[in-house]
Amino acid sequence: MKSIAELEEIRKKTLDKINMSAKKDGMRIVVGMATCGIAAGARPVMNTLVEELGKRHINDVPVTMTGCIGVCRLEPIVEVYNADGTKVTYVKMNPEKAVRVVAEHIVNGRVCQDLTIGAAESAGK
Protein backbone atom coordinates (compact mmCIF):
# COMPACT_ATOMS: atom_id res chain seq x y z
CA MET A 1 0.00 0.00 0.00
CA LYS A 2 1.24 3.45 -0.91
CA SER A 3 1.55 6.17 1.68
CA ILE A 4 1.25 9.95 1.36
CA ALA A 5 4.80 10.21 2.73
CA GLU A 6 6.09 8.89 -0.63
CA LEU A 7 5.22 12.28 -2.09
CA GLU A 8 8.27 13.68 -0.30
CA GLU A 9 10.49 11.95 -2.83
CA ILE A 10 8.48 13.32 -5.77
CA ARG A 11 8.63 16.77 -4.17
CA LYS A 12 12.43 16.70 -3.99
CA LYS A 13 12.79 15.40 -7.54
CA THR A 14 10.38 17.89 -9.07
CA LEU A 15 11.51 20.95 -7.18
CA ASP A 16 14.72 21.33 -9.18
CA LYS A 17 12.88 20.87 -12.45
CA ILE A 18 10.36 23.57 -11.55
CA ASN A 19 13.07 26.05 -10.67
CA MET A 20 14.75 25.43 -14.00
CA SER A 21 11.68 25.74 -16.20
CA ALA A 22 9.96 28.52 -14.19
CA LYS A 23 7.08 29.42 -16.51
CA LYS A 24 9.17 30.31 -19.51
CA ASP A 25 6.48 31.11 -22.05
CA GLY A 26 3.11 31.25 -20.31
CA MET A 27 1.29 28.93 -22.68
CA ARG A 28 -1.70 27.13 -21.19
CA ILE A 29 -4.47 24.72 -22.19
CA VAL A 30 -8.07 24.87 -21.04
CA VAL A 31 -10.60 22.06 -21.52
CA GLY A 32 -14.36 22.69 -21.37
CA MET A 33 -15.58 20.41 -18.59
CA ALA A 34 -19.26 21.18 -17.98
CA THR A 35 -22.10 18.69 -18.53
CA CYS A 36 -21.91 19.20 -22.30
CA GLY A 37 -18.14 18.67 -22.49
CA ILE A 38 -18.09 15.69 -20.14
CA ALA A 39 -20.93 13.96 -22.00
CA ALA A 40 -19.19 14.54 -25.33
CA GLY A 41 -15.95 12.94 -24.11
CA ALA A 42 -13.81 15.73 -22.65
CA ARG A 43 -12.34 13.41 -19.97
CA PRO A 44 -10.36 11.16 -22.34
CA VAL A 45 -9.23 14.27 -24.25
CA MET A 46 -7.89 15.89 -21.08
CA ASN A 47 -6.24 12.64 -19.97
CA THR A 48 -4.48 12.41 -23.32
CA LEU A 49 -3.28 16.02 -23.17
CA VAL A 50 -1.80 15.49 -19.69
CA GLU A 51 -0.19 12.20 -20.71
CA GLU A 52 1.33 13.57 -23.91
CA LEU A 53 2.77 16.59 -22.09
CA GLY A 54 4.10 14.25 -19.40
CA LYS A 55 5.76 12.02 -22.00
CA ARG A 56 7.57 15.01 -23.43
CA HIS A 57 8.51 16.37 -20.00
CA ILE A 58 6.72 19.63 -20.68
CA ASN A 59 6.17 20.99 -17.16
CA ASP A 60 5.37 24.61 -17.92
CA VAL A 61 2.10 24.22 -19.85
CA PRO A 62 -0.73 23.78 -17.35
CA VAL A 63 -3.90 21.93 -18.39
CA THR A 64 -6.95 23.23 -16.57
CA MET A 65 -10.72 22.81 -16.73
CA THR A 66 -13.41 25.37 -17.26
CA GLY A 67 -17.19 25.39 -17.41
CA CYS A 68 -19.42 25.66 -20.44
CA ILE A 69 -17.77 27.69 -23.19
CA GLY A 70 -21.11 28.29 -24.91
CA VAL A 71 -20.99 26.23 -28.08
CA CYS A 72 -22.07 22.87 -26.70
CA ARG A 73 -22.66 21.36 -30.14
CA LEU A 74 -18.93 21.61 -30.85
CA GLU A 75 -17.73 19.93 -27.63
CA PRO A 76 -15.28 18.61 -26.57
CA ILE A 77 -13.54 21.99 -26.84
CA VAL A 78 -9.89 22.69 -26.06
CA GLU A 79 -8.58 26.23 -25.91
CA VAL A 80 -4.87 26.89 -26.25
CA TYR A 81 -3.69 30.26 -24.93
CA ASN A 82 -0.45 31.27 -26.55
CA ALA A 83 2.28 33.20 -24.78
CA ASP A 84 1.36 36.39 -26.66
CA GLY A 85 -2.20 36.27 -25.29
CA THR A 86 -3.88 35.02 -28.45
CA LYS A 87 -6.13 31.99 -28.23
CA VAL A 88 -6.83 29.06 -30.53
CA THR A 89 -10.10 27.16 -30.06
CA TYR A 90 -10.08 23.51 -31.10
CA VAL A 91 -13.47 21.84 -31.42
CA LYS A 92 -14.96 18.34 -31.68
CA MET A 93 -11.84 16.94 -30.07
CA ASN A 94 -10.92 13.34 -29.38
CA PRO A 95 -7.78 11.69 -27.98
CA GLU A 96 -6.17 11.29 -31.44
CA LYS A 97 -6.66 14.98 -32.22
CA ALA A 98 -5.34 15.86 -28.77
CA VAL A 99 -2.08 14.04 -29.56
CA ARG A 100 -1.77 16.13 -32.72
CA VAL A 101 -2.41 19.42 -30.89
CA VAL A 102 0.36 18.67 -28.40
CA ALA A 103 2.85 17.58 -31.08
CA GLU A 104 2.10 20.29 -33.64
CA HIS A 105 0.87 23.30 -31.69
CA ILE A 106 2.37 23.01 -28.20
CA VAL A 107 5.73 21.56 -29.21
CA ASN A 108 6.27 23.02 -32.67
CA GLY A 109 4.13 26.14 -32.55
CA ARG A 110 2.11 25.24 -35.65
CA VAL A 111 -1.65 25.66 -35.24
CA CYS A 112 -3.71 22.65 -36.43
CA GLN A 113 -5.90 24.76 -38.69
CA ASP A 114 -8.23 21.92 -39.70
CA LEU A 115 -9.28 21.31 -36.07
CA THR A 116 -10.10 24.91 -35.17
CA ILE A 117 -13.54 26.38 -34.63
CA GLY A 118 -13.03 28.48 -37.76
CA ALA A 119 -12.56 25.38 -39.93
CA ALA A 120 -15.54 23.61 -38.35
CA GLU A 121 -17.83 26.58 -38.80
CA SER A 122 -16.93 27.28 -42.42
CA ALA A 123 -17.31 23.58 -43.28
CA GLY A 124 -20.80 23.62 -41.77
CA LYS A 125 -21.98 26.46 -43.98
Partner 1 sequence: MKDISLHVLDIMQNSAAANAERICVEIRTDKNTGILEIMIGDNGCGMDSELLSRVDDPFSTTRTTRKVGLGIPLFKASAEQSGGSFEISSEKGFGTKVTARFAIDNIDRPPLGDIAGVITDMAAAYPEVGIQLLLKNGNQKFEFDSRQVAGQLGEVPISEFAVVKWLREYIGEGIKDILGGVLNEINS
Nearest distance in Å: CB 60, partner 1: 11
Q: Which residues from 82-121 bind partner 1, rule CB under 8 A? A: none
Using the rule CB under 8 A, which residue among 23, 24, 70, 118 binds partner 1?
70
Q: Which is nearer to partner 1, 11 or 125 (CB)?
A: 11
**Number of shown-chain residues binding partner 1 (CB under 8 A):** 35
For position 72 contacting partner 1 by CB under 8 A, the verdict is: yes
The Cα–Cα gap between 46 and 34 comes to 13
Residue 65 or residue 120: which is nearer to partner 1 going by CB?
Answer: 65
Among 27, 45, 49, 69, interactor with partner 1 by CB under 8 A: 69
Q: Least distance in Å: CB of 41 to partner 1?
A: 9
Buried b (16+ CB within 10 A) or exposed e, 5-15: eeeeeeeeeee
Asked whether the bond before 95 is cis by omega within 30 degrees of 0, the reply is no
Contact (Cβ atoms closer than 8 angstroms) between residue 42 and residue 33: yes
Q: What angle do CA 55, 78, 46 make, to 5 degrees?
A: 40
Q: Which residues of 52-70 are buried (b: 16+ CB within 10 A; e: fewer)?
A: bbeeeeebbbebeeeeebe
Residues that bind partner 1 (CB under 8 A): 1-2, 4-8, 10-11, 13-15, 18, 33-36, 38-39, 43, 46-47, 50, 53-54, 59, 62-65, 67-70, 72
